[in-house]
Structure 1
Amino acid sequence: MTQRFQDVRKDLSVMKPNWMGDAVFKEMKEHWESPQFKLKSEQNKKNRDANAGASAHTDGCILHRVIWKRLKKTTGKDPSFSEFYFRTHRKEKDKSWVNEKAEAAYNKFEKNKEELLASQSASVDGETNSVSELSQLGEMDIWVLSVGGKKKGKVAGLGSVDEYD
């Protein structure tokens, strides 16, 4: 239905569609031509453009917690965050990333993880007893840091993290 309204709205000079009554078309046309609607429409367009690819993943409307549970059932253990992110943000056919933002987030995560491993091995090799703050973090914490933390209770690439426990 949404697509039908978009098609009608694209060219209001065309005759009304046969599936819409005269009174409804007149009211909708007035609404679509109003300054308030145009302002809101323009703002929504800017918002969509600003967040291009922000929520792109390969599983459509399937909740991340459902995907998490399926992976856990398949493997018999909780998936690592790398496995989960690969599953939800890489195309199955050619294994390419869904967008540059997804790839950049993963690369930053891997870089932070490598830095953690390097700092841990430096502590062991140098017999230093001080443990860096980063080395105390788990994979989940590294991911959260890599993508900028929680926003509105969700972590980029993972959805509502609390639901995975």
Structure 2
Amino acid sequence: MPGPRKELEKYWESDEFKAKSEKNKKNRAANTGGCVHRGGRITFAEHRRRMEVELGRPCEYPEVFKKIQHDEEKGWVGKRAANTYNEFERLKECQESDASISDSALWLQVVGGKNKRGRVYGLGTQAGLLNSNGTQCANTSGEIALLKKQLEEQKKFYEDRFEKVVESLQVREEEFRAREQRREEEFRAREERMDQK
């Protein structure tokens, strides 16, 4: 009775396994394959969260990509990373006049959008947080805090504006009542004069 080790050795010697092994070897060596990075076991999302805490502001995807794909001393981890980021920078310069396009939307354009599996090159699990138009959903505490702050500012602006409108209406109503009262007094005075004649 052959043991599991013998069965595995038999499988490893088969033509089917050798063909798969060769194919996978080529895929790993290709620049268009997976995403090599220097981020270790830390997820893209965690790198992004840490950067936002460190910098005190929300970070766009390309900024995090550069941090985990590029080393000041060693350079880029691979040609694909370098080419992708350089193309992003080139397009960003061309788009400087159009502030409506976010860096994340531009990144999605550079990498060709989501692949068949719904993944975006260089973003790890964050690809699921991109909307179809390339805008990102608020997903970090920094972004959520920023959105809350903006919402509070807008709320205060509209409350102040509403208060001013109410005050203005009250002033107009008082002026209207004062005018009506004067007219009524003038009308009574005329009536009294006419009655006296």
Q: Structure 1 34/90 Cα, relative in aligned 2: closer, same or farther at 3 Å?
A: same
Where does residue 48 of structure 1 map in the other structure?
28
Where does residue 67 of structure 1 map in the other structure?
47
CA contact (8 A) 1:56 1:98 kept: yes
- What is the CA-CA distance between 1:154 and the residue it aligns to? 2.2
CA contact (8 A) 2:31 2:78 kept: no
Where does residue 91 of structure 2 map in the other structure?
112
Give the whole-Å Cα distance in 2 for the aligned partners of 1:77 and 1:164: 13
Greater per-residue helix proportion: 2
User: What is the aligned-residue identity percentage?
Assistant: 35
Offset from partner CA, 1:89-130 (integer Å, 9 cap, x none):
1126x151111111111110011011112xx2xxxxxxxxxx
Q: Structure 1 95/29 Cα, relative in aligned 2: closer, same or farther at 3 Å?
A: closer
Calculate the TM-score normalised by the size of structure 1.
0.67
Q: Structure 1 74/43 Cα, relative in aligned 2: closer, same or farther at 3 Å?
A: same
Q: Does 1:30 align with 2:2?
A: no
Offset from partner CA, 1:16-60 (integer Å, 9 cap, x none):
xxxxxx834422221111222122222222322335664111112
The structure with the largest alpha-carbon Rg is 2
Instruction: Give every structure 1 segment of 4 or more consecutive aligned residues whose post-TM-superposition deviation is greater than 4 Å.
Output: none
Give the whole-Å Cα distance in 1 for the aligned partners of 2:76 and 2:45: 21
Unaligned 5+ segments in structure 1 are: 1-21, 121-133
Give the whole-Å Cα distance in 1 for the aligned partners of 2:83 and 2:32: 14
CA contact (8 A) 1:54 1:101 kept: no
Calculate the TM-score normalised by the size of structure 2.
0.57
Q: Structure 1 154/164 Cα, relative in aligned 2: closer, same or farther at 3 Å?
A: farther
